[in-house]
Amino acid sequence: MSLHPTRNTLPEDIRRQSIGLLGQSLITAIDLQRQAKQAHWNVQGPQFIALHLLFDEVHSAAVEWADLSAERLVALGGTADGRIQQVAGQSPLPPYPLELRDGKDHVRQLADALAKYGQQVHQAIIATADVGDPTSSDLFTEISRGVDEHLWKVDAHHYG
């Protein structure tokens, strides 16, 4: 992977490692956006309106997480790749089942996706800190707080 010219003072090897982690975060966040919309569009049941709105909130948050990841990646000299083919081929999230209708099923599925992304982001916090990129580590910490908050909100419907 070639890097774009930048005046960022991080050594190239550190930037490359962070770019890889940020690229994976971008891909997962884009997939999470689509999964949240899938749940938003198809949820049914007695908690419809609450879940419909919550799933839209998760979608909006995932848009922001993708944007944060992409912009940092580009600032480090990388190229953001959020093309649908890239996302479909590299997302660690399992495909969203089309047969889901009941709110609790959507809650379970979206909570699992949020938890998996949260785990990925937690690992990226540590990895970027370990290689010497505290700014990317801080960005991942910001994303992690948001993922944990939305997981809590979605998960509350599972146990309620």
User: What is the per-residue pLDDT for 160?
Assistant: 55
Domains and CATH numbers, the chain: 12-156 (1.20.1260.10)
Q: Is 44 helix (H, G, I), strand (E, B) or coil?
A: strand
Q: Mark the ranges of the chain whose per-residue pLDDT is less than 50.
A: none
By C-alpha distance, which of 71, 67, 74 is closest to 1? 74
Half-sphere exposure of 96 (CA within 13 A, CB side): 26
> CB–CB of 38/99 below 8 Å?
no
**Residue 44 — φ and ψ, nearest 5°?**
-140, 165
For residue 123, give every residue at least 6 positions away whose Cβ sits within 8 Å of its Cβ, in sequence order, or none. Answer: none
Burial class (CB in 10 A: 0-12, 13-18, 19+), 67: middle
3-state DSSP of 88-139: HHHCCCCCCCCCCCEHHHHHHHHHHHHHHHHHHHHHHHHHHHHHCCHHHHHH
Query: d(Cα 22, Cα 79) in Å, to the nearest integer?
Result: 11
- The whole model's pTM is what? 0.96
